[in-house]
Amino acid sequence: MKQLKWIAGIAILVTGSTVVAASEPGYDRVAGRAHASRSEVIAPHAMAATSQPLATQVALDILKAGGSAVDAAIAANAMLGLMEPTGSGIGGDLFAIVWDAESKRLLGLNASGRAPKAMTLEYFQQHGIDTIPPYGPLPVSVPGAVDGWFELHKRFGRLAMKDILAPAIAYANEGFPVSEVIAQYFQSNKRRIGQYPGFAETYMPEGDVPKKGEMFRNPRLAATYALIADKGRDEFYKGSIARRIDAYMAEQGGLLRYEDLAAHESEWVTPVSTSYRGWDVYELPPNGQGIAALQILNILEGYDLKSMGFGSAEYIHTFVEAKKLAFEDRAKYYADMDFVDVPVETLISKPYADERRKLISAEKASLRVPAGDAKLKDGDTIYLTVADADGNMVSLIQSNYRGMGSGMTPGDLGFVLQDRAELFALDANHANVVAGGKRPFHTIIPAFIMKDGKPLISFGLMGGAMQPQGHAQIVVNMVDFGMNLQEAGDAARINHDGSSEPTGTTMTDGGVVHLESQFSRETRDALEAMGHTLGASDGSFGGYQAIMWDDAEGVYYGASEVRKDGQAAGY
């Protein structure tokens, strides 16, 4: 155990030291890998990769105690809800893709919550509201994460939930040192939502949000976790926790009620996929945006990206134009499939990509592109992945939306409620129009890759609209540019902003292309000459974690985001 802690410490040290050094001239990359900040982690039995080293260590502890990959993922998620409330927590939603080694099946779980029954288009019209606000009581939808935990556990769990949540409860009571990135996020969230009732009492007990290295306790969350561990998911949706949420939301003028919580349930879904040069990439179907990554890859498959070269203006232009096309479909079609007929099969098909690709000019940036004719019938975030000794792999993403969510911090429960309902449209003719009991368009997406019928990579990249762009870039980096698992995540990223949105806004003037600082001045000048508008290099480029199974050697590879505080570790 001492050796494992020592190795983990070195990994953290390398992460902290290379964030700056990686962009310095003459920096000596790891093992001759041009884009890598550090080596991949390799282990024979199990692997965990999260955005917080303490969460990774807890996941490994659960695995060593006989827990499954799902048990470890739930334990890590509970830890992140405590230690990274700036992007996750039980007030938010959850999605997961699970590789079940026993049945050799890939399964998906949609644990996103629905709009309150009272959240109707008529409500907003009657109150003269033409845009759902980002914060406060109105954008709160049912939090689905806790039900997601119990659905996953019922199917794949081995240890008792009391044992799974025990580490997070202990850290919540005893305290933990706040990491650097999270300390920065705390400050920005305080400015946005610090004024709402309950926030300061929970997250500013000493008068301010915690700073880097300061010990922080959340005994309120510890008590809530203990209730959930002792009494089960119904305590959250039908018991005392639900009633306290109901009372708080009624007091604040929100629409979420006890009946909405009591009616909630998650849904097991079948992941959908496309083949990209022999790699089968899987995402979950809408109400999430995962299929946008598949649409981007289908369009890109028609180009020789390898000959263009990573970092070239030609490649970046092609990628951005493919993204624009996929996101116009995203804005028009993606919605809760219980309410509208989303043409998923058409949208992710190769013939459809062939037609969309014809709209891309090799020399000029598009300022506005149409959604495709798919013949539709009428009608901050955390990512983690865990793999166990039996070959089970979990790709799990969980979020509040907009960092810490709505700002609604009910009573003494120790967490903030999400604001996902902000992503509904208020246009009666839009597929994503708000309706009581409907799931809003969702940004968080887990991913999985199969090759030759075998599990290969469980991965994800958090960060709003960056997520499908990031998923596609990770795949392209590995398949077309020959990068390894860590290098694919460390390589400089592209983030195009300004596409049309499922809320009803439309793209104008082609949007803005954000490039990380490693891209050359020559490349930037060439892109501007094509008509692209370039933005700041410090935009949101996401947070990546991944695990890869090497079937030939029988070992796992792990990778963790260099831009975050995270860690991949195994045993």
- Domain boundaries, given as residue ranges, for the chain: 268-381+443-565
Q: What is the pLDDT of residue 5?
A: 29
99, 309, 550 from 483: Cα distances, Å: 24, 12, 15
User: What rounded mean pLDDT belongs to the chain?
Assistant: 92
Q: What is the pLDDT of residue 28?
A: 43
Residue 375 has φ and ψ, to the nearest 5°, of 55, 55
- 234-284 pLDDT tens trace: 999 999 999 999 999 999 999 999 999 999 999 999 999 999 999 999 999
17, 80, 145, 184 from 565: Cα distances, Å: 12, 12, 23, 12
Q: If you write DSSP's letter for every residue of 298-353 in order, what string do you get?
A: HHHTTS-HHHH-TT-HHHHHHHHHHHHHHHHHHHHH-S-TTTS---HHHHTSHHHH
For the record, the structure tokens of 172 come out as: 């919540």
Residue positions annotated with a catalytic role? 381
What mean pLDDT comes out for the span 89-105?
A: 98
State the DSSP H helix or E strand holding residue 180, giving kind and residue range, or none if neither.
Answer: helix 180-193
Give me the amino acid identity at 527: L
Q: Are 329 and 302 in contact (CB under 8 A)?
A: no
Q: What is the pLDDT of residue 30?
A: 63
CATH 3.60.20.40 matches 268-381+443-565: yes
Q: What is the pLDDT of residue 29?
A: 53
- Work out the percent of the chain whose per-residue pLDDT is above 90: 87
- 305-333 pLDDT tens trace: 999 999 999 999 999 999 999 999 999 99
Give me the amino acid identity at 362: A
Q: What is the pLDDT of residue 373?
A: 67
Q: What is the pLDDT of residue 409?
A: 98
pLDDT at 462 over 80: yes
**What's the start-to-end Cα distance of the chain, in Å?**
10
pLDDT at 412 over 70: yes
Residues shown for the chain:
571
For the record, the structure tokens of 485 come out as: 């698992």
